[in-house]
Structure 1
Amino acid sequence: MTKSLATRGNGSRRRARCCLACGRKRISQIGAPQVRIRQSDVWWANLPEPLGWRPVLVLTRDSAIERLHWVTVAPLTRTIRGVESEVILEPDTDRVADRCAVTLDSFATVEQILLP
């Protein structure tokens, strides 16, 4: 381990992360393996107001996620308005717990490390 990594904070601090779609866990501790964020995964994110803490769908393509610190996400909501900018997700086919909509008129870009 290089000196810069060894002195980079308390190594005992762990932050559990999970993917809503498959329940995978990952730990953001230096040297510990992490689960990759993938396009079409659903994660929880704290988005700017008025959206706040909510599930989001990762829109960034897989080949770019590996090279970027940020990913583009779209919020999910159970309030389905029936507008053209929504994509409806069903529990039977789309790996979500409840029927919901991806709101594509208010997407955001967030740091990957902030997706718990």
Structure 2
Amino acid sequence: MLKCRALSQGRLENNCFQISEDLCIAGVSQEEYEGVQTFVNHSCDPNLGMAGNVVMVAIRDIEPGEELALDYAMLGNSSDKVMDCCCAAPSCRKIVAFHDWRLPELQARYKGYFSCAEARIRSAQEL
């Protein structure tokens, strides 16, 4: 486990699973990247959700050959980073913030499919 802020540069940032406010599971070098990368893209209309911190589950039927996609909001990240979204889903937010899990509409839409980190971060922020 590494402090998430230590992975804020380059490709390593893309394989970080935050498991608490300051810790994540990730490759620690470029050599480890390919072995731990999940190769799951973001979509505002995902077919995957989280069950725990690192397990992904289907939240709807997935057709053979269909791209696996997760709404990054489900990861419960506390980062202030944002990215442009090009998913082209009718529900596309155009800009995805890693803290979008805080949005009430996403809390309702993805109830039961957020990482455990999201609940711990939310609880810590409410104190």
TM-score, length-scaled by structure 1: 0.29
Q: Which has the greater radius of gyration?
A: 1
TM-score (norm 2): 0.27
Structure with the higher helix share, 1 or 2: 2
